[in-house]
Amino acid sequence: MTERPAYLRVADELRAGIRDGTYPPGSRLPSLRALAAQHGLSDIVIRAAFTVLRNEGLVTTHARSRTVVRDHPPVRRIASERYQREFRHDPAGQPETSFTADQGIPWGQYRLDRTFREVGATPELAALFEIEPATMLLERRFVFYAGDEPQQMSRTYLPLELVSGTPVADPQNEPWPGGTPAQLASLGHPLSRVEESIKARMPTPEEMETLHIAPGVPVFSITRRMISEGRVLEVAADIVIPADQAILDYAIDLQAPPAPPG
């Protein structure tokens, strides 16, 4: 067997030290010079090992080439039934959305950056809405914050003819208690179905900057359709969440097969 390259062996050793607590979050790794002397390797090899760890999102490099172990962001569990909270939201009760429930934060710690504009449906959006291309939509771009920390981005669409001239089309009404399900219910269209398609991918430069994503960390990209009585009334394309900050939980109820005759 071919021997594992030296820079990967060094990366393996440092990674193991990060995972077992030898190098806790916020601590500095040994210097490039110290590691080179310890292993009898060149500075170039050690730099390559640091690059591996940086691309895995385990470390960051600061001024004067200090390599520091990243703090582990809190991981939140996102359950498939979270939309039930919004569907059953009581306007007279405490305001919340699926995001505040996922984050476990009170309403006062929740804020949104939002941008609204009118756009024509692209072929991809038209297929998701099951409408003709160029049909006018309201595009809503959101950045979700828990306190001062950006946690999530989304780009969502609603049929313009459905929301034009209504409070739903006014960005000043965001954030809306109960979220999009409550908005659609206020227009006389309670939801009957939510569909989500999830994939993992690397973030765009804009997503990395906005959500403060470390190099090497992928994101969950979620495409969502909200449906009322067979009509698609909202498409999210897409919702972006750093993958090191979330676990997606899904429960599937199974129906027992009918008993055999006799």
Are 92 and 137 members of one domain? yes
Boundary (domain end) residue, out of 18, 44, 69: 69
Q: Give bridge partners of residue 60 from the DSSP assignment.
A: 68
Residue 150 phi, psi dihedral angles, 5° rounding: -70, 130
Secondary structure (H, E, C), 126-144: HHHHCCCCCCEEEEEEEEE
Boundary (domain end) residue, out of 69, 89, 110: 69
pTM metric for this prediction: 0.79
Please state whether beta strands 76-79 and 193-201 pair in parallel, antiparallel, or not at all (unpaired).
Answer: unpaired
CATH of the domain at 61: 1.10.10.10
Q: Alpha-carbon distance 205 to 218, whole Å? A: 12
Are 152 and 103 members of one domain? yes
Are 46 and 140 members of one domain? no
Are 96 and 55 members of one domain? no
Q: Alpha-carbon distance 177 to 86, whole Å? A: 8
**For tokens 């939002």, what's the residue?**
114
Are 53 and 119 members of one domain? no
Are 52 and 82 members of one domain? no
Are 58 and 174 members of one domain? no
Q: What is the pLDDT along the chain (262 residues), one digit of tens a residue?
A: 568 899 999 999 999 999 899 999 889 999 989 999 999 999 999 999 998 898 888 888 876 668 888 877 666 777 777 777 776 767 777 888 888 888 888 999 999 999 999 999 999 999 999 999 999 999 999 999 998 889 999 999 999 999 999 999 999 999 999 999 999 999 999 999 999 999 999 999 999 999 988 888 899 999 999 999 999 999 999 999 999 888 888 877 787 777 777 6
